[in-house]
Structures are given as structure tokens and as C-alpha cells.
Chain A
Amino acid sequence: MRYRNILLVILLILSFTGFSMKNNAETKRWVVSQNSSLSVNGSTNINTFSCVIPAYDKTDTITVKSKTDKSVMLSGSIDLSVNSFDCHNSGMTKQLQKTLNEKQFPVLHIRFLSLSSLPAMTRNPEPVTGLVDIEIAGVNKQLEINYQISQDEANVIHLLGSSDLNFTDFKLIPPRKLGGMIKTKDQLNVVFHLKMKTI
């Protein structure tokens, strides 16, 4: 009888703990829509360029797990075809694809790792930061991204992220032409706009 009571208490504690854990870690899934885009902005000593992947051609899912300390764990990635970049100038487009070593590494990956918080979704963009792991030309680098997150009237979540990175971070050589008289600057600014729906 005594052991039965102890067993009952243990079961009660376990079940309460189980419930409380379930309440603390809310999990959502966001489906990335095909209207999402990414742009890479850079400059040379003679011009600036903006290379865009205007429409993401896949449907990927990001799992969003809220933790008790307001931080958010993300899991999921988007895979972008280097061949899809358009720099609005065929020569520049080919040059970017060559610089990113498209033949050997045709896809670049962005893996979403975390968000500093998940604010209440409104039409007004809220700033959050987060970590992503970017893989370009076979080299990984973890970056902190500044996001603006919002939700529109059609319940589409807009995640607008931007970060500066360097060609050399990924062991890539910024192109130089005419004996170095035309030089591409090492720094690039990557901006992505993910449009997602909760499922």
C-alpha cells in the first residue's frame, strides 16, 4: 500500500513535469513560400552590383521551437541554386557564378539556427537577431543576422534579414580585372526576404 502511494506520487510528478515541459516548448512550423527572394549587393572600384534570386523555387519548412527564456530554436534550411542569380548584366551574372565556383558547388545553403525572441506578429516589423549557418562554395560560416519580422493581413510571415559578409570568409577570391585596375571589394551585403505561412 505504501509503495503504491509512492508510485502514485512519482507518476503524478512525472506527469506534471511532462505537461509543464510541453507548455514551455511550443513548436510551430513555417513553410517558406515561393515568392521569397535573396539579393547579394557588392561593389567594385567602378560600379555597384546587385545580384538577385527573385523567386525561391522550392518549398521548405522551418521548425520554430520557443524556449522558456524567450529565445527560439530554429531548424530547417533553404537551398539556393547559384545558377538562379541574376545581376541584371549577363557578364556580371556569369562572373558571380564563376566566383562562387558554381560548377563545383552549384547550391548555397542557409541553415536557420535561432532567433533572439519571437515577438507578437503584427503588421509593424519588429527587430530581432538570429544565428544562421551559411554554406558557400563548400565553406560554412555562422553569422548573426538582423531580422525584421512581421505578419500581414493574409497571415503571411515576412522575415527580412540582412548581414555583411566577405568573399574571403568563404575562401573565395574577389575578382580583379585588367591587372588589378578593376577590383571587386571583399565585402558583400546579403539581404533575404522570406515569406512564410504557419502550418
Chain B
Amino acid sequence: MKKILITGLIAGCILFILSYGGLFLGIRFFPGLFVAYNNPLFNSDGSRDVLFYLHAFIISFALSWFWDRFKSMFKGSFIMRGLEFGFVYAMIALLPVMWISFSSLDITVVMVVSWFLYGLAQAIVAGLVFAKINP
């Protein structure tokens, strides 16, 4: 349990920097991709900002538990294990959620595809961290 929490925390810190840093740079250099977020569908009063920034840690702890439970199934070098872990997460969790999100919410294809790729990248980074420090 301690191992899960420690690896989750380390992955959370790395994902926090990469995710929000990447988002910041994305908004700065590709602002057109983010215009659609000016929509009441997305929280606009700042009341959920803490929850938004905690996401990196929520996903890291969840993936850390998942890694610890199923790590024996991922074979090969740490890079291959990290990539496969990210891909498995994307297929099992992200794809169905993106599917239902797009079919039920007034959001664009670009938005859904970017969320899928963002989640896939997060899971691959987390997988690489887990494969390295909790092989």
C-alpha cells in the first residue's frame, strides 16, 4: 500500500508539471483549439479550480493501484511496459468515456480527440514512472 501511495505521489508530481505545463503551452501557442471552452458547459466561476488541479494526483493514485495489481502482465523493457500500460488504460477507460461524452454532450470532435490523446499521454508517462520505480 505504501509503495502504491509513494509511486502515485511521484507520478502525480511529474504529471502535474507535464499536464498543466503542456496545457499552458497549448493554450499559448494553439489558442484556436481552446475557443470552444468558452461555453457554460465548463465551470466558469473558479469554484472547482482546486478539483481541476488535483486531477493529476487522482489519475496517478488510481493508475498506481492498477499498475501494482496487474504489473506482472506487462512484459519487456520499461519503455514497452509504460507504453503498453498507457495503451491499455486508453482502450479500457478513455475510449468508452470519450464515446459517451461525445454522444451526449455538446462538444466538438477536436475536443474529444484532444482529451483522448491527453489522457493517453498521461497514462504512458505514469506507466513509465511505475515501470521504473515499482517494476
Show the binding face of A for B, using Cβ within 8 Å. Answer: 44-47, 49, 89-92, 94-95, 98-99, 173, 175-182, 184
Contacts and interface: CB of A to CB of B under 8 A. Distances in A.
A44 to B, nearest CB: 6
Interface in B14-48: 20, 23-24, 27, 31-32, 34-46
A176 B44 CA distance: 5
B24 A181 contact: yes
Nearest to A98: B40
A141 B24 CA distance: 36
B122 to A, nearest CB: 15
Interface of B: 20, 23-24, 27, 31-32, 34-46, 49, 52-53, 106
B23 A184 contact: no
Contact of A99 (B34, B37, B42, B44): B44
Given A46-B31, A46-B34, A46-B35, A178 B42 contact: yes
A180 B24 contact: no
A179 B24 CA distance: 11
11 contacts: A44-B38, A46-B32, A47-B35, A90-B106, A91-B36, A177-B43, A178-B23, A179-B20, A179-B49, A181-B27, A182-B37
B38 A92 contact: yes
Given A181-B23, A181-B24, A91 B45 contact: no
A91 B52 contact: no
Given A177-B38, A180-B46, 5 more contacts: A45-B27, A45-B31, A94-B40, A95-B39, A179-B49
Contacts of A44: 38
A182 B34 contact: yes
Which 10 A-B pairs have CB atoms at the shortest separation, nearest pair first?
Answer: A91-B39, A46-B31, A175-B44, A179-B52, A98-B40, A177-B37, A179-B49, A94-B40, A177-B42, A47-B35
